[in-house]
Homo-oligomer: A and B are copies of this chain.
Amino acid sequence: MDYLDDLFEFLKIDTTSAKGKGEEGAKYLVDYMKSNGIDARLIRDKSRNPYVYGEINVKANKTLLVYNHYDVQPVEPLDKWNSDPFKPKEKDGKIFARGVGDDKGTLMARLQKIISLYKENKLKINIKFIYEGEEEIGSPNIVSFLNNYRDLLKSNYILWEGSGRGPDGSPEIVLGVKGLLYVELRASTEKDLHSMYAPIVQNPVWKLVYFINNLRDQSGKVKIEGFYDDVKWLTEEETRYLKADKEEMEKALGQNVPDNFMKKLVEEPTCNIAGIFGGYTGEGSKTVIPSYAFVKIDFRLVPNQDPEKILTKLKSIADKENIEVVVYGKVKPYRTSISSEISKALIQSAKEVYKIDPVVLPNSPGTGPMESFANILNNNQVADGIGVDNAGSNIHSFNENIFKDDYFKAMDWLQSFLEKIS
């Protein structure tokens, strides 16, 4: 087993779930696990991309469920990549490829380390692997899957998809996720018109602009009535572990950030325009009143907001304006306890391996189906850590990358964690 060669083979496979791809990546994983002595198979359930399930039973008392996803975000805009996103490239101590940070790199680092420990007879806890292929499109089928495979996935602890090093370089531990409501708002008329008719007809782009202008103010505050009703603001204890280097964060993001950026990242729900389109967008000018426009919006939600409740509020105001709401994703937020066994083991092992205090986030600023795992599998020890990425990894963007050293450091962290949790 050559760690990086095998990783690169995996990265070469396009698993963009938003474009219906993934099957090939799933099969690669099953073959990889089987060839290394792990009992593994595809589970199709209702999902378009199959789940990959694997199991190592060392007859220990406890079982750890390791969750990762093998699907990736679309690579557009492709012209902004310095190298082919599906041809992994090593440069200046980094590895560039779509998914290397989110989440194929972490998936492979963990899998390879566990295989090594298993082969060396050093594994003292049973392992179950579950890999999803629809995380990047909002895990539309995870609830059904978890309900149908509740017994198979039974475990004492659940290790989440992976968090590497934060903006200040410290290992990051995350005890929850934000939720998500992803919608597309659409407005239309019968046909495109010459713009000379502008004084007397409706323009769907203007209609959408006015509508979304009322969704959010310029400070970022969401203006939908009742949007913040269920928000569980952070306690003083939960904010204590939110250290981060502002300068590093700004360098990584290429923008200035406010002083209290870590608290905002964890605590605040958002309304983000991910895409907007209408009318003539080619070169030069065309004087037209477009007949169709849409805007893609993702709301990141925090405990205890409910995407279903937010959607109902949004629909009720959109209906009044005759604006169509298409839903692409709904995920609930989740937070686990900072004093759980899994949290303690993650914190202690991080300290030992990285020789610095970890950052502990009560919840990630990002989203994953953690809440479904916790509730449906009746498991309240779900936590994240042991990942390969960093704040400059450009996940979901172009030139996604990780440091090669971080790949192997995550393997060490995993080994130490497994010793403590076993």
Contact = CB atoms under 8 A, between A and B. Distances in A.
A329 interface: yes
A48 to B, nearest CB: 11
Given A276-B277, A276-B278, A288-B397, A283 B196 contact: no
A274 B293 contact: no
A190 B397 CA distance: 12
A257 interface: yes
Contacts of A288: 73, 274-275, 396-397
Contact of A286 (B74, B195, B210): B74
Contacts of A73: 286-288
B264 A18 contact: no
B280 A74 contact: yes
Contact of A137 (B265, B271, B284, B395): B284
- Size range of the chain A interface in the assembly: 35 or more
Given A254-B189, A258-B200, A280-B274, A287 B180 contact: yes
A296 interface: yes
B328 A196 contact: no
Contacts of A178: 196
A220 interface: yes
Contact of A284 (B180, B202, B328): B328
B270 A275 contact: no
Nearest to A207: B218
Interface stretch (A58-66, A88-96, A113-121, A362-370): A362-370
A43 interface: no
A290 to B, nearest CB: 7
A206 interface: yes
Given A196-B367, A273-B290, A397-B192, A285 B298 contact: yes
Interface in A277-313: 277-290, 293-294, 296, 298, 300
Contacts of A275: 205, 278-281, 286, 288, 290
Nearest to A214: B213
B261 A290 contact: no
A199 B273 contact: no
B281 A137 contact: no
B265 A286 contact: no
Contacts of A198: 220, 270-272, 298, 300
A328 B274 contact: no
A216 interface: yes
A152 interface: no
Contact of A255 (B201, B209, B254, B255): B201
Contacts of A283: 18-19
Contacts of A405: none
A203 interface: yes
Contacts of A193: 253-255, 396-397
A194 interface: yes
A68 interface: no
A76 interface: yes
Given A76-B282, A196-B300, A213-B210, A290 B270 contact: no
12 contacts: A19-B283, A180-B287, A191-B397, A194-B366, A196-B365, A196-B366, A199-B270, A206-B218, A213-B213, A272-B287, A275-B280, A287-B367
